[in-house]
């Protein structure tokens, strides 16, 4: 047994968990943690330029690998700067351990310099938050933190470490097992409900599979493909589930909901069975609840029992790991054809495709996304910002594989994409990583260009510059009589000069015929490359379901 101080115990615990990369920003309360990291060869620390950048980078790393992301921050403002990123990970069920510094134990509760009650602040947005009170508990807490973050429904855990606990010493023994009697999760669906689900699948005439991020978290994409092909049902994938089912598969319907494809929304509305797999039936997908799949039986598979019937009443609930449940369903369901149903869906697809009009004068943002998809063959890692750029990326990038479309779904966090792309590129240094951004969102964390350049990351950043907060402007156009109140981004930076100021390469593209050559140049460049595409200022994202409307009543969705 070795005697270590608290900071050294944290580092040894990270090594015991197999952590290879952490993201963070030092400060006074975590000096001993950073001292423990000095000269450490097994763990690489990435110094971001803002704590929010660090937590999004850890989030992106986790999404792209399936491993637990780790972030360090100091006390007070350092810790509170993590809050948005922690909430972001919580909403999207991303495994994350955030280790924050805290003032010394005797100073807690006295409004001490750089003190913030981060365990209290993060309690509603974490699976659990620890305040370490005794160094003898630290190894156990670290073991539990990783266990909680990565099991059941994944999510963030905070470990808040007071300065004196980090300096205190004790013998280090890393617990081989976790004993948390109050923390339980179910891996397999209840047998009786499985039987009901099999019967419903075998009897359905118009089934639709509605797959979400739970498929990716569970590593169930192969089971999903096999299940869909066996019962011959069309598959719609949420923003979080993008890549769980290949967008190029004949049964793929794309994304449902507010900016989903018309044919996905029509199929759900007319279905007699919706098989929800690792989804939470969020309001952006369901729209008006009483009009969501009004004639369908609902099967809902989720590892979190709190999700069952939270938004939509599940007729057949199946609490469990979706991969395990799918494997059980696959054994029992009968092969089906559903040709008449598939023909109807295909007719909707032909009559109501995603489309846009690209002329020779002004670049359409959808065209840029399509060209990125074409030049990368749908095999790149795509990190998006939030807004119109995000929806166009989801609509027009044909993703083939899971964990390659990295986007802030539940919280819709502007400024997520660039730091997330940093985490993704570090996880996959030899892969092509694109950050698809808007001119508003990229400015939320544009300081992270410095991080990308410092670590030599060849991230390609495509900024769709429409000089607006585009999605807000779209709502103002459609629902507020074009009263564009404070959404025009006057005084924006010269993104080419901004990229160059950080040491990246940058170029501006203003003509449609220059889009492809610019992408080819960026792909060939060895380092961080920023392309500012000047796009149509008032292009909108269609189809669009107005908030609270039925999903089969879309603006720009055409008539059935």
Catalytic residue among 91, 444, 471, 507: 471
CB count within 10 Å of CB 217 equals 27
Rounded to 10°, the helix 322-332/191-203 angle is 60
Could you tell me whether strands 69-73 and 96-102 are parallel, antiparallel, or unpaired per DSSP bridges?
A: parallel
Catalytic residue among 15, 44, 67, 114: 114
Answer whether 273's CB lies under 8 Å from 433's CB: no
* Cα-based distances in Å from 238 to 216, 259, 408, 526: 11, 11, 12, 33
Q: How many angstroms separate the CA atoms of 190 and 541, rounded?
A: 41
471 catalytically annotated? yes
258 catalytically annotated? no
User: What does the buried/exposed string (b/e) look like for 508-531 if buried means 16 or more CB atoms within 10 Å of the residue's CB?
Assistant: bbeebebbbebbeebbeeeebbbb
Catalytic residue among 17, 51, 307, 324: 51
Beta-carbon contacts of 128 under 8 Å, excluding residues fewer than 6 positions away, are 144, 145, 148, 157, 158
Catalytic residue among 163, 242, 364, 460: 163
Helix (H, G, I), strand (E, B) or coil at 211: strand
405 catalytically annotated? no
Strand order in the sheet with 156-162: 44-47, 21-25, 69-73, 96-102, 156-162, 128-131
396 catalytically annotated? no
51 catalytically annotated? yes
Could you tell me whether strands 273-277 and 207-211 are parallel, antiparallel, or unpaired per DSSP bridges?
A: parallel
Catalytic residue among 40, 42, 113, 538: 113
Q: How many angstroms separate the CA atoms of 315 and 300, rounded?
A: 8
Active site residues: 51, 113-114, 163, 471
């Amino acid at each position: 047994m070795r005697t270590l101080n608290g900071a050294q115990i944290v580092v040894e615990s990270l090594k015991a968990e197999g952590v290879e990369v952490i993201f963070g920003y030092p400060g006074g309360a975590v000096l001993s943690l950073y001292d423990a990291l000095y000269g450490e060869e097994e763990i690489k620390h990435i110094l971001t330029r803002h704590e929010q950048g660090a937590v999004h980078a850890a989030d992106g790393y986790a999404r792209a690998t399936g491993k637990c992301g780790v972030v360090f921050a100091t006390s007070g403002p350092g810790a509170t700067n993590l809050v948005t990123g922690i909430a972001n990970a919580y909403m999207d069920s991303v495994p994350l351990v955030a280790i924050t510094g805290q003032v010394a134990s005797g100073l807690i509760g006295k409004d001490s310099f750089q003190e913030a009650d981060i365990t209290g602040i993060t309690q509603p947005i974490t699976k659990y938050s620890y305040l370490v009170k005794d160094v003898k508990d630290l190894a156990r807490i670290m073991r539990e933190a990783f266990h909680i973050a990565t099991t059941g429904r994944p999510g963030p855990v905070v470990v808040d470490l007071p300065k004196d606990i980090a300096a205190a010493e004790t013998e280090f023994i890393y617990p081989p097992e976790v004993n948390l009697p109050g923390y339980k999760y179910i891996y397999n669906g209840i047998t009786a409900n499985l039987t009901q689900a099999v019967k419903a699948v075998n009897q359905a005439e118009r089934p639709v599979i509605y797959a979400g991020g739970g498929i990716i978290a569970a590593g169930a994409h192969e089971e999903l493909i096999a299940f869909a092909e066996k019962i011959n049902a069309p598959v719609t994938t949420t923003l979080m589930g993008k890549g769980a089912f290949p967008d190029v598969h004949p049964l793929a319907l794309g994304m449902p909901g507010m900016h989903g494809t018309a044919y996905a929304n029509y199929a759900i509305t007319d279905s007699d069975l919706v098989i929800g797999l690792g989804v939470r039936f969020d309001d952006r997908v369901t729209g008006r609840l009483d009009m969501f799949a009004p004639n369908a039986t609902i099967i809902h598979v989720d590892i979190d029992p709190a999700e069952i019937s939270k938004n939509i009443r599940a007729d057949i609930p199946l609490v469990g790991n979706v991969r395990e449940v799918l494997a059980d369903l696959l054994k029992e369901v009968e092969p089906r054809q559903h040709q008449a149903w598939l023909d109807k869906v295909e007719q909707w697809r032909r009559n109501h495709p995603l489309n846009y009009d690209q002329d020779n004068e002004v670049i359409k943002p959808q065209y840029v996304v399509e060209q990125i998809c074409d030049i990368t063959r749908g095999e790149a890692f795509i990190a998006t910002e939030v807004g119109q750029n995000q929806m166009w990326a989801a609509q027009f990038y044909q993703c083939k594989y899971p964990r390659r479309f990295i986007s802030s779904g539940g919280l819709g966090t502007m400024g997520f994409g660039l730091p997330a792309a940093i985490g993704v590129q570090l996880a996959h240094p030899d892969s092509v990583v694109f950050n698809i951004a808007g001119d508003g969102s990229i400015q939320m964390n544009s300081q992270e260009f410095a991080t990308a350049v410092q670590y030599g990351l060849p991230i390609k950043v495509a900024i769709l510059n429409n000089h607006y907060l585009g999605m807000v402007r779209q709502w103002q156009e459609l629902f507020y009589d074009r009263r564009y109140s404070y959404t025009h981004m006057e005084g924006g930076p010269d993104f080419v000069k901004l990229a160059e100021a950080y040491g990246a390469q940058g170029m501006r593209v203003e003509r449609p015929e220059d889009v492809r050559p610019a992408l080819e140049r960026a792909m060939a460049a060895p380092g961080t490359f920023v392309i500012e595409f000047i796009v149509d200022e008032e292009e909108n994202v269609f189809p669009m379901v107005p908030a609270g409307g039925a999903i089969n009543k879309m603006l720009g969705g055409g008539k059935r």
